[in-house]
Amino acid sequence: MSLFNGQATLPSPPPSEPETHTFFRPAIATISVGAPDIHPLKTKLDAISKNGFSGIELFYDDLLQVARQLQDQDSETPGDPSQQDIDTTEEYDIKAAFEIKRMCDQRDLHIVSLQPFRNYEGLLCKSEHARRIQELQHWTKLATILGNDVFILIPSSFLGKSQTVGDRERLVEDLTLAADTAHPVRLAYEALAWGTHVNQWEESWDIVQRVDRKNFGICLDTFNIAAGVWANPTTVSGRSSEQADQNLERSLQRLMHDVDPDRVFCIQLADGERVDPSAAFLHIPDQPTLLGWSRNSRLFPFEEDRGGYLPVLEIARAVTNGIGFSGWVSMEIFSRTTRDDRPIVPSEHAARAARSWDRMIKSLEKTM
């Protein structure tokens, strides 16, 4: 499917809801409308539903908050979660999964994914690797409860090199084991721009092909693609080099040529804020610069008025129309703004995301 021809054919929707698209279904990550420890999941689901989204990516910390609430209700004295035994913690996780599924069903929301299953592949410690496999088995149970087609998102590890190995064969071996452990639940592997050993979409796609399991695919994220090849928040220009545009164009051409859309389980959309290169969160000791930027300064697409400057539309065209993708497209931002404790924050963020979605769909339709 070409990026550069075609026209919009769908009628305009009510202005209060994201536009329904023949090929793309609108979702949003629960972390993107409020912090789990500040904004209750019920409040966030209400905001998401009222703003017309039909799917969510469930952040595991939101599930944990529901689990702790359920346990507190069953206990005369709320306990310290750090002192709970593993069996009890897993029991309340499972209860929380059923409760979240019920809440989503009431709001006609589809649970797209459970995420993120962080820092798994390449672990040097054998006992820690075995523990993580047990944890993945637990997540698989949760995903099965949450829905028939929920996938688990595995971002590339950003643990230090003293804790992980970057040998490609070892990474493939670990992720093959993960796919077999989770089967038939799907796993989506995502290259984080600050990943220790895997930080480009090309590397994650190579691993997906080598794992070669039907339930193991890729997640493509506009922020991570841009941050990996085009952006550098510590420079005055915000770009990685004078060749940033050319480097990105070549990368997107490879993506459109090489990636099988059937192996793409989700598309995530986010822009990045142009920030002061001396911002403290970019210079935290022992933390990757791009991680600090990502956690504090993502924006929804088309929020240039808030400082957005990444070539999100160009990347979005490539990862959707360019490869012939159809399915869930999720708004996924992490931002310091979600930690604002005002009760209206979830509604504000969900409304921002809905406006962003409408503009994105209209822009993508022009190139179909």
Instruction: Let me know if residue 71 belongs to a domain.
Output: no
Q: Residue holding tokens 């709320």?
A: 78
Instruction: Let me know if residue 5 belongs to a domain.
Output: no
The predicted model gives 38-56 an average pLDDT of 98
Which of 57-66, 258-267, 302-311, 358-367 has the least mean pLDDT?
A: 358-367
> What share of the chain has pLDDT > 70, as a percent?
90
pLDDT at 237 over 70: yes
Three-state SS at 234: coil
pLDDT at 275 over 90: yes
- Chain centroid to Cα 357, Å, comes to 16
pLDDT at 1 over 90: no
Q: Residue 184: is the preceding peptide bond cis (ω within 30°)? A: yes
Instruction: Let me know if residue 227 belongs to a domain.
Output: yes
- Chain centroid to Cα 149, Å, comes to 16
The predicted model gives 278-293 an average pLDDT of 96
Give 327's contacts (C-beta < 8 A, 6+ positions apart). Answer: 23, 24, 25, 264, 265, 266, 267
> Checking DSSP bridges between strand 186-190 and strand 216-221, what pairing results, if any?
parallel
pLDDT at 350 over 80: yes
Number of structural domains in the chain: 1
* Sign of the alpha-carbon dihedral angle for 132, 134, 137, 139: negative
Q: pLDDT value at position 5?
A: 34
Residue 30: pLDDT band with limits 50, 70, 90: very high
Could you report how far apart the first and last alpha carbons of the chain are, in Å? 7
pLDDT at 278 over 90: yes
Q: pLDDT value at position 206?
A: 98
Q: Residue 277: is the preceding peptide bond cis (ω within 30°)? A: no
Predicted structure pTM score: 0.90
With beta carbons less than 8 A apart as the criterion, state whether 298 and 272 touch.
yes
Q: Which of 307, 349, 367, 311 is nearest to 35 (CA)?
A: 349
CATH number for the domain spanning 333: value is 3.20.20.150
> Checking DSSP bridges between strand 298-299 and strand 24-29, what pairing results, if any?
unpaired
**Quick one: angle between helices 312-319 and 345-365, nearest 10?**
70
Instruction: Let me know if residue 190 belongs to a domain.
Output: yes
Q: pLDDT value at position 365?
A: 85
Which tops the pLDDT comparison, 19 or 197? 197
**Quick one: angle between helices 222-229 and 289-297, nearest 10?**
140
With beta carbons less than 8 A apart as the criterion, state whether 146 and 221 touch.
no
Q: How far apart are CA 151 and CA 57, in angstroms?
A: 9
Write down the mean pLDDT value for the chain.
92
Q: pLDDT value at position 14?
A: 41
pLDDT at 15 over 50: no
pLDDT at 170 over 90: yes
Q: Where are the beta strands (DSSP E) in the chain?
A: 24-29, 55-59, 110-115, 151-155, 186-190, 216-221, 264-269, 271-272, 298-299, 327-331
Instruction: Let me know if residue 17 belongs to a domain.
Output: no
Instruction: Let me know if residue 83 belongs to a domain.
Output: no
Taking only the tens place, the pLDDT of each residue in 108-144 is 999 999 999 999 999 999 999 999 999 999 999 999 9
**Which residues span the domain enclosing 32?**
24-55+112-365
Q: pLDDT value at position 12?
A: 36
Instruction: Let me know if residue 117 belongs to a domain.
Output: yes
Instruction: List the structure tokens of 358.
Output: 């409408």
With beta carbons less than 8 A apart as the criterion, state whether 63 and 97 touch.
yes
The DSSP 8-state label assigned to residue 183 in this structure reads T
Instruction: Let me know if residue 295 belongs to a domain.
Output: yes
The predicted model gives 346-357 an average pLDDT of 98
pLDDT at 29 over 90: yes
Extract long-range pairs of 322-325: CB within 8 Å, 24+ residues apart.
322/1, 322/3, 322/252, 322/255, 322/256, 323/1, 323/255, 323/256, 323/259, 323/260, 323/261, 323/264, 324/1, 324/261, 325/23, 325/261, 325/264, 325/267
Q: pLDDT value at position 3?
A: 35
